[in-house]
Homo-oligomer: A and B are copies of this chain.
Amino acid sequence: MTRLASAGGDTSADNTDSGGGATIAPRRYDLGAAPGPLDRAELTALDAWWRAANYLSVGQIYLMANPLLREPLAAGHIKPRLLGHFGTVPGLNLVWAHASRAIRQRDLSAVFVAGPGHGGPGPNACAWLEGTYSELYGHISRDSDGMAAFFAQFSFPGGVPSHCAPETPGSFHEGGELGYSLLHAFGAALDNPDLTVFCVVGDGEAETGPLAASWHSAKFINPARDGAVLPILALNEYKIANPTLLARIPEDELRALFRGYGYDPVIVAGSDPAEVHQALAAAVDGALDRIAEIQRAARDGDTARPTWPLIVLRTPKGWTCPPVVDGDRVEGTFRAHQVPLPNARGDDEHRAVLEQWLRSYRPEELFGESGAPTPELDALNPSGERRMSANPVANGGALVRDLRLPDWHEYGVEVPAPGAGSHEATRVLGGWLRDVTAANPDNFLTFAPDELASNRLQDILEVTGRDWQAEVGEFDVGLDRRGRVIEVLSEHLCQGLLEGYLLTGRHGLFTCYEAFIHIVDAMFNQHAKWLDASAAVPWRRPVPSLNYLLSSHVWRQDHNGFTHQDPGFLDVVLNKKPEIVRVYLPPDGNTLLATYDHCLRSRHLVNVVVAGKQPGPDWLTVDEAAAHCARGAGIWEWAGTGDSTGSSPDVVLACAGDVPTLETLAAAAILRERLPDLRVRVVNVVDLMRLLPREEHPHGLPDREFDTLFTRDRPVIFAFHGYPWLIHRLTYRRANHDGLHVRGYKENGTTTTPFDMVMLNDLDRYHLVTDVIDRVPELRERAAGLRQEMVDARFRARAWTREHGEDIPCVAEWSWPEVSL
C-alpha cells in the first residue's frame, strides 16, 4: 500500500530548506524524471500548466495586488481575511490538466465536476488559463490587471465564493453542500452519448450518504445511449481535521469496495510530480480507451453490463504548499485543508515563505510580460468549446430544446357535471406523461424512488421501461436498457440525477411520496439557490424547471403510520426566493393536467405539485380546468349558494388540495341543504402563490382581486392541504387576514381510514360546517340544532371506523348533489 505519510516525510527531508527541524519552510518545487507515456517535452509542458493553475490558485487565496510578484511581497498585497481552501486544489488542477490533454488528443467533448468542498480556486484558475474567464467577464482580462482583479474578487465582499458556483465558467455543479458530484455527473451523461464527464470526488465527500449510494448510478448508464463518467476519487487523505475513512483502510479493501460498486479501479499514488504525471496520464489514457471500447461495443449491439473504469488519485493534501509551518507538518496533512499560512499578512516570516511558495511555481516562466499565459501554455488548452470551462453543456440553458407536448386537453376526463365522475388524478396525468415521454425520446426523463406505479404513473410504462443495465431476473418485468424512467430507492439519487440532467439543458420530473420528499430538503435548497444565483449571472441561460409530483400525500396515508405524515416540504420551499418557487395543489385530474402542462413549459423554477393518487371526484371539465388554473384561484359558483359571487357572501369556504376540496364541497352541500338562505361562497386555490401579495411574488394577486375572492371582512374557513400556518403566512398582509380561520394538517395522525384521517385533523365536513356556524353570528342560535347534528355525525363516523375498519357508508359513498341553481 502506498502511504503518503511516508512519502510526505521524505518530501520534508528532501525539500525543506532547513531540513527536518524547520519550523517554517517553503517546498522546493522540482519536476524530476519518470518513465511513462509522456515524453519529456509533454511532461514539462503539462507540469508548467499545472504550476500555472496552482500559482493562480494560491494567488486567489492570498493576493489583492502585485499578482505577478513583480515587486517584493508586502503586507498590503495580502488580503486582510484569508478565506479559501488550498488543500484540494492541486489535485483538481492536476486532473483538469490531464483531462485537457486527453480532450486535445481525442477531440473529446468533456465537462468537469469538482466535488471536493471549497475547491473554487482550482476551476477558477483553469478557466482563467483557458481564457474563458476573460471572455465572460470583461474586467478579468488576460493580463496582469485582469489577474489582479481575478485574485482580488475571490472570497471578497462582492466577489465570488470559495466554492464552485454559478459564476464559475464550466461548472454546472454547486460546490457548497457535499455529496452530489457523481449524481450531477451521471445526470449530465444521460442522453449525452458524446459527452465525457471528469468527476472528481473528494474523499471527505465520499463519506456522505448520497455519495456512498451514488457510485451505483453507473448501473443506469447505457453506453449506447449515454455518455460516460470517469470518476476520480481524490484521496488526499484528510478532511477539515481528520483523516478520511477511505484513506485508512487497506488498499485491497479499497479496491474491493470499488469492484463491488461495479468499477475497475486504478490507483495512482505518489508525491513526486513527474511520477504522478506519468502514472495519471497512463491511467487517464487507459480509462478513456476502455470507455471508448465499452461504447463501441454497446453501439455495435453488445448488451453486457460493462465494468467502468475509475481512478483513485492518492496525492498529498495541499501538495506543493509549505511542508512545515510553525513546526507543524502541513503539506500532506489536514492542516493544509484551508489556508496553509494563515498569518501571511501580519507575520513577516509567514509572508516570506508565502512569497517563496508562490515563486516556487516560477511565474516568470508561465506568464508573459503582459501577464497573459505564455503561448506554450496556451497551446495546451483545447480549442473553443472543447475547453471544459467553455463547454456549453455546463451552461445547459444554452442548449435547451423545448419539449414537444401533446395537447393536454385531449387527455382530460369527461365531466358531465361537477363530482359526477371519479378518477385517480395522477393516473390521468400518467396518460399524458406517457405521450410526453414518447414524443421526447432523448430529452425527458422521469425519476422515482420505486414509486412510479404506486403513484399511478404506470401508463408511462406502455411506451418505455425502467432504465436497467444490471442483470435481469426471470420474473422481472418492465426493465429496459433504454428505459425513460429511472427508479432507484433513493430520493437523493432521483433528485441528484435529475438535477444533473436539468442543469445540462434537458427536462424531467421527480415523483415521490410526499412524506419522504423531506429527505432531499437540503438538495432542494442548494438547487433553488443555484437557480437564484445563476439568474444574476449574465451569461447563464435559464434551465428547465425542477418539477416535483408529490403523491401518496398526507391525507391518504391509508396504511402508513404517523411517521409517513408530513406536508412540510411546502414550508421549506416557501423559504426560498419567491421568484423561483411555485406550489400547485390541483384538486382533480383535469386541473392536474393543466398544471403540469404549465410546469413542463416553464424555465428556471422549482414547481412543486401535490396531487392525489386515490380515486376522487372530477370537479372541472377540461375547459373549466384550463380557465381555473390560468386564474390560479377562483370562485366555484356552482358550489356556492345564493348570490355567492357578489360582494358580500355570509361566509367563504376556501380550499387548496384535493382532500380539503372534497371536504369543503361536502360541507357546502350540507349548508345548501340545511341553510339554503345562507350565502356561501366556495373558493378553490390551485396556485398557492396567488395568496401572496403582488409585491412579494410574481403570481401574487393584487389586493383588489384578492379581496374580490375572499372579501375584506367576511369569515373565511380555509381548508388546506399542509400545516395551517402556511396560509396565515401567505395571507398575512391581506385585509381580511383576521377573518381567516385555517384548518390543515395537525401532528395527530395515526393509522386510520381516509375519513378518519380528516376527522383526526378536524378538517372533516362536519367540522367545517361547525366552523361556519361558530363564525357567522346570526347562525349561532338559529343553527344550534344543526351544529349538534354535526357533532353527533362525527362521533358516529368515528365509531363506525373503529368497529368496521372502513369509513361509514354515508361518507364513503357521498357524492356531490346534482343541484340546478
Interface residues of A (CB under 8 A from B): 3-6, 8-9, 64, 79-81, 83-84, 118, 152, 155-163, 165, 174, 176-179, 204-205, 207-214, 216, 219, 237, 239-245, 247-250, 253-262, 329, 332-334, 450-454, 466, 468, 470-476, 478-479, 487-493, 515-516, 518-519, 521-522, 525-526, 529-530, 532-533, 558-566, 568, 571-572, 575-577, 723, 725, 728-729, 732, 747, 750-753, 756, 801-802, 804-806
Q: Kindly provide the distance from the CB of A337 to the nearest chain B CB, expressed in whole angstroms.
A: 10
Contacts of A725 in B (CB 8 A): 729
Which residues of chain B come closer than 8 Å to A489, judged between CB atoms?
Answer: 178, 204-205, 207-208, 239, 244
The residue of chain B having its C-beta at the shortest distance from the C-beta of A158 within the complex is: B802
Q: Given known contacts A80-B805, A242-B487, A805-B79, is B248 in contact with A471 (CB within 8 Å)?
A: yes
Expressed in whole angstroms, the minimum distance between the Cβ of A556 and any Cβ of chain B is 12
Nearest B residue to A728, CB-CB: B732
Contact (Cβ within 8 A) B162 A561: yes
Collect the chain B residues with CB atoms within 8 Å of residue A249's CB: 219, 262, 470-471
Residue contact A156 to B260, C-beta cutoff 8 Å = no
What are 9 of the A-B contact pairs (CB < 8 Å)? A5-B475, A80-B806, A158-B802, A244-B489, A245-B470, A329-B475, A518-B522, A525-B566, A576-B747
Across the interface, name the chain B residue whose C-beta is closest to A255.
Answer: B260
- Let me know if B213 and A208 touch, CB within 8 A: yes
Distance A571 CA – B259 CA, assembled complex (angstroms): 42
| A441 CB, min distance to chain B CBs, angstroms | 22
CB <8 Å contact, B161 and A561 = yes
Chain B residues within 8 Å of A253, by CB: 259-260, 262
One of B474, B561, B751 near A9 (C-beta < 8 A): B474
A155 — which chain B residues lie within 8 A by C-beta? 559, 751
The minimal Cβ–Cβ distance linking A810 to chain B, given in whole angstroms, is 16
Between A242, A452, A756, A804, the greatest number of chain B beta carbons within 10 A of the residue's beta carbon is seen for A242
Chain B residue with the shortest CB-CB distance to A749: B529
Assembly CA distance A577 to B237 (angstroms):
43
Contacting residue for A241 out of B158, B160, B454, B801, CB 8 A: B454
Q: How far is the CB of A668 from chain B (nearest CB, A)?
A: 26
New A-B contacts (6) at CB < 8 Å, excluding given A158-B750, A177-B515, A572-B572: A207-B490, A207-B493, A219-B249, A258-B260, A521-B521, A529-B562
Bound CA–CA A242/B458 (angstroms): 13
Cα of A247 to Cα of B216 in the assembled complex, Å: 13
Cα A161 to Cα B155 in complex, Å, equals 51
Does the CB pair B156–A243 fall under 8 Å? no
Question: Which residues does chain B contribute within 8 Å of A158, judged by CB atoms?
Answer: 750, 752, 801-802
Q: Which of A158, A178, A219 has the most CB of B within 10 A?
A: A158
A493 to B166: give the CA distance in the assembly, Å: 30
Residues of B within 8 A of A165 (CB): 561-563
A83 partner residues in chain B, CB cutoff 8 A: 558-559, 751
The docked-state distance in angstroms from the alpha carbon of A558 to that of B159 is: 12
Tell me the bound Cα distance from A165 to B242 in angstroms: 36
Please give me the residue from chain B that is nearest to A205 by CB atom: B489
Q: Which of B240, B564, B577 contacts A747 (CB 8 A)?
A: B577
Cβ–Cβ contact B259 & A84, under 8 A: no
For residue A576, which residues in chain B have a CB less than 8 angstroms away from its CB? 747
| Least Cβ–Cβ distance between A605 and chain B, in angstroms | 15
What residues of B have a CB within 8 angstroms of the CB of A518 in the complex?
A: 521-522, 525, 572
- Chain B proximity of A68: nearest CB distance (Å): 20
Residues of B within 8 A of A219 (CB): 245, 249
State the Cβ distance, A693 to closest chain B Cβ, in Å: 13
**Does A6 lie within 8 Å of B472, measured CB to CB?**
no
With beta carbons under 8 angstroms apart, the residue of B162, B177, B216, B565 that contacts A751 is B162
Considering the chains assembled together, what is the distance between the CA atoms of A472 and B237 in angstroms?
11
Distance in angstroms between the alpha carbons of A256 and B334 in the assembled complex: 30
Instruction: Report how far A694 CA is from B547 CA in the complex, Å.
Output: 40
Q: In the complex the two chains form, what is the Cα distance from A242 to B79 in whole Å?
A: 56
Given contacts A488-B245, A728-B732, contact A572 B521 (CB under 8 A): yes
Closest to A3 in B: B473
9 A-B pairs with the lowest CB-CB distances in the bound complex, closest first: A257-B260, A161-B561, A83-B559, A176-B563, A209-B209, A5-B474, A212-B213, A256-B260, A248-B470
Contacts of A454 in B (CB 8 A): 240-241
**Contacts A489-B205, A806-B81 given: A160-B473 contact, CB under 8 Å?**
no
CA distance A284 to B572 in the complex (A): 45
- Of A157, A240, A259, A479, chain B has the most CB atoms within 10 Å of the CB of A157
Closest to A752 in B: B157
Taking a contact as CB atoms under 8 Å apart, the answer to whether A563 and B174 are in contact is yes
Asked if A209 contacts B214 (CB within 8 A), the reply is yes
Q: Is the CB of B747 within 8 A of A241?
A: no
Q: How far is the CB of A729 from chain B (nearest CB, A)?
A: 5
Decide if B473 touches A237 in the complex (CB within 8 Å): yes
B259 touches A260 (CB 8 A): yes
A81 and B805 contact, CB distance less than 8 A:
yes
- Whole-angstrom distance between the alpha carbons of A278 and B64 in the complex? 72
Residues of chain B within 8 A (CB-CB) of A237 are: 473
Pairwise interchain contact A751-B475, C-beta atoms closer than 8 A: no
B residues within 8 A CB of A493?
207, 209
Distance of A804 Cα from B529 Cα, bound (Å): 27
Which residues of chain B come closer than 8 Å to A516, judged between CB atoms? 177, 522
- A521: nearest residue on chain B (CB-CB)? B521
Instruction: Decide: A204 and B157 in contact? CB cutoff 8 A.
Output: no
Q: Given A80-B806, A209-B214, A806-B80 in contact, is the A530-B329 Cβ separation under 8 Å?
A: no
Q: In the complex, what distance in Å separates the CA atom of A258 from the CA atom of B561? A: 33
Contact, CB under 8 Å: B176 / A564: yes
Q: Decide if A245 touches B216 in the complex (CB within 8 Å).
A: yes
Bound state CA distance, A160 and B750, in angstroms?
8
A241 and B460 alpha carbons, distance in the complex (Å): 14
Q: Which of B84, B243, B256, B801 contacts A473 (CB 8 A)?
A: B243
Contact residue among B240, B259, B565 (Cβ-Cβ distance under 8 Å from A453): B240
- Asked whether, in the complex, the Cβ of A80 is within 8 Å of the Cβ of B751, the reply is no
Does the CB pair B176–A243 fall under 8 Å?
no
Residues on B with beta carbons closer than 8 Å to the beta carbon of A216:
207, 212, 245
Closest approach, in angstroms, between the C-beta of A629 and any C-beta of chain B?
Answer: 27
